[in-house]
Chain A
Amino acid sequence: MATETLTLGKALNTGLRRALENDPKVVIMGEDVGKLGGVFRITDGLQKDFGDQRVIDTPLAESGIIGTAVGLAIRGYRPVCEIQFDGFVYPAYDQIVSQVAKMHYRSRGKLNIPMVIRIPFGGGIGAVEHHSESPEAYFAHTAGLKVVSCANPQDAYVMIQQAIASDDPIVFLEPKRRYWEKGQVDLDAPISEAYPLHSARVARAGADVTLLAYGPMVRTCLDAATAAAEDGRELEIIDLRTLSPLDLGVVYESVRRTGRAVVVHEAPSNVGLGAEIAARITEECFYSLESPVLRVAGFDTPYPAARVEEEYLPDLDRVLDAVDRTFGW
């Protein structure tokens, strides 16, 4: 077993490399993905090794990146598009929700758009505005798209390859503030059997409260669990991994056991994924619940200036506070 310690960013890079090696139809496209290797260096070295027809520096036009990728997909390619930052996906929003998501349905299955749209998302890196957003609910709301997010290097490595191999169009959300976090990566992990792409994972087992998170908040919740353990509380952390479709079996099973659930995400709470998850848990696990499903989320404001982002972002204390509150009913 070839296991290496990699950062999440490097794990993505390695996964992309594998995908390029394994399938000549895979092409990577985006702004600055070539020589520069992307502003986060996720595509570092790929153009050098695969050439500028496989790793394409595009004009600065987001709708163009996604729209031409649709045409490439119709032609038989598997485009992996990089959107430089979450806040710049909106110019491409129409192509994603009106074209990418609907092409298969509209053609009654005659056209596939096996596209991956990689978006570094979320805050916590002290960036200027438009560089820290969490747009997942927009995409999760759109039928025809699948939305996933990785939270650790191993998942980053496997999930990016699974997403590329999938015929479904996939919005792939990368927790940008976790790019530099290291972990063990099994480079031989098979992408077909390791676990299905659309499956949640118990990131830490616990008996008292279920915490549901994805992307950057998984780490936060794990840290909260460590802190809670010192107070004698066992938090179970579920890394959702797939936001659309949600893998609810794992969620229901856990909540039925613990009787308490807290959803944690950076995106604003209003009409966010937390609302969806809470509603579904309520429908399915009503008689097992000891307390209402709570949400810990970003505020319903635009993402704020960097000097106050620590206030905006759910942190250990807010998570633990919510955990406490679930015991107040």
Chain B
Amino acid sequence: MAKGDPGAGPRGRRAAPRSRKAVTGDPELVQLLTPEGARIDSVTGPDGVEYRVDFTDEEYRGLYRDLVLVRKLDAEATALQRQGELGIWASLLGQEAAQVGSGRALRTQDMAFPTYREHGVLYCRGIDPIMPLGLFRGVDQGGWDPNEFKFNMYTIVIGAQTLHATGYAMGVAMDGKTGTDDGEAVIAYFGDGATSQGDVNESFVWAGVFNAPLVFFCQNNQYAISEPLERQTRIPLYRRSAGFGFPGIRVDGNDVLATYAVTRHALDNARHGQGPSLIEAYTYRMGAHTTSDDPTRYRIASEVEAWQAKDPIARMKAFLEREKIADAGFFTEIDEQARREAVDLRERVLAMPNPEPTTLFDHVYPNGSPLLDEQRAQFSRYLESFEGSAH
């Protein structure tokens, strides 16, 4: 699966089942790949839907490459922050499968509304991975074109973007762009903490009432900074949707195959006019909330270790080895590619210049403002007064 090819996926034909005996999974947690790397052929969710994927070997390898690259780029960003090159970084470590699985399930025409940790989805949308680093370095506020890449601005205010996604999805429906195979769907990303926000609940109401072609994709990484899931909810999050009148499902968020299958299904439902759904990707944030956070204050090592055993990349690797889809040469090659891309990223970040001071006045209003023009002119004169002086 090539970088920037969000449309890659099953071709609608059946691949030969890899395990001898059909294995079915737990409906409460849709899983197609066990932590040990064993394939589960299909699983029927509590919604009665049978989830499965049919990837070619090349596609399986592509997903693995995505996971490794995304993790490596994230690690590089963390390192850059530690060296003072970024002001802060929100790492996705542990959430690669949730993001790559859902990101690859998007079709070209689908629109995504992220929060601030969706670097893996951003990568799947074909956006240069340096883009979010500008935001965290403080040289811009995220430099990509949301309409070109169909991936919106990062959103820091928790949950705000779920309403934007809902409105956008209403617009898709109003444009008559649903009801066919090439219809459009919208996906909104948010965390477990966000489910407590009014905006998220309002967006559930709206999306349900207007039958918006929208997939709510909650990455339940178990914590909102220090607060555990129990501080946000008394019931499993995916069941929330029932109260708003649309389906909800929990998927193993560390399983890229299941995440892909579940998201693709929900997106296809949306694009066919069947309205919203909620996906709870059950996962774990392996690192700190951001580089400013100290997770040892609120969680114990054994918990982290337990989740380490469910690592999304290790299980994909075990699967590829077990099924002989990839050999040692492949893994070395991917690691080498990841290393090269990380070095490249580092070099480009270090070369990122600060913006010119007066650009801070740009793009406040599409139509400008006389007061602001005056302020900009005053500030320019002030700056010029230093020119040539040894200030």
- A contact set with B: CB distance below 8 Å: 27, 53, 58-59, 61, 63-64, 66-77, 79, 91, 94-95, 98-99, 103-112, 114, 143-144, 146, 166-168, 198, 245-248
Contact = CB atoms under 8 A, between A and B. Distances in A.
B365 A144 contact: yes
Given A61-B202, A67-B199, A72 B167 contact: yes
- In this complex, the member of A66, A73, A103, A107 whose beta carbon has the largest number of chain B beta carbons within 10 angstroms is A107
Interface in B129-183: 140-143, 145-147, 152-153, 157, 160, 162-172, 174-175
Nearest to B164: A71
B270 to A, nearest CB: 14
In the A-B complex, list the 8 residue pairs whose CB atoms are closest, starting with the nearest.
A71-B167, A67-B163, A75-B171, A68-B167, A71-B168, A64-B202, A167-B366, A71-B164
Contacts of A73: 167
B152 A59 contact: no
Given A59-B205, A61-B205, A61-B206, A71 B146 contact: no
B163 A106 contact: no
B170 A68 contact: yes
A146 B170 contact: no
Given A75-B168, A75-B172, A76-B171, A70 B146 contact: no
Interface residues of B, number: 42
Contacts of A66: 163
B160 A94 contact: yes
Interface stretch (B80-88, B292-300, B367-375): B367-375
B236 interface: no
Contact of B372 (A95, A245, A247): A245
Contact of A59 (B140, B175, B198, B209): B209
Contacts of A77: 171, 174
A108 B170 contact: no
A70 to B, nearest CB: 5
A215 B64 CA distance: 62
Nearest to A103: B153
30 contacts: A53-B174, A59-B202, A63-B198, A63-B202, A64-B166, A64-B199, A64-B202, A64-B203, A64-B206, A67-B163, A67-B167, A71-B113, A71-B164, A72-B168, A73-B167, A74-B167, A75-B172, A94-B199, A103-B153, A104-B364, A105-B364, A106-B153, A107-B142, A111-B146, A114-B366, A143-B372, A146-B369, A167-B367, A198-B369, A245-B369
A108 B141 contact: yes
A201 to B, nearest CB: 16
B363 A71 contact: no
Given A67-B166, A74-B152, A75-B172, A98 B160 contact: yes
Contacts of B370: 198, 245, 247
Contacts of B166: 64, 67-68, 71
Contacts of B168: 71-72, 74-75
B26 interface: no
B2 to A, nearest CB: 25
A106 B141 contact: yes
A64 B364 CA distance: 24
Nearest to B172: A75
B163 A70 contact: yes
Contact of A107 (B153, B171, B172, B202): B153
Contacts of B205: 59, 61, 64
B362 interface: yes
B276 to A, nearest CB: 13
Nearest to B166: A68
A66 B199 CA distance: 10
Contacts of A168: 365-367
A73 B364 CA distance: 17
Contacts of A94: 157, 160, 199
B186 to A, nearest CB: 8
A144 B364 CA distance: 5
Given A61-B206, A70-B164, A91 B146 contact: no
Contacts of B157: 94, 98-99
A143 B198 contact: no
Nearest to B152: A74
- In this complex, the member of B162, B198, B362 whose beta carbon has the largest number of chain A beta carbons within 10 angstroms is B198
A109 B170 contact: no
A83 to B, nearest CB: 15
B391 to A, nearest CB: 26
A63 B202 CA distance: 8
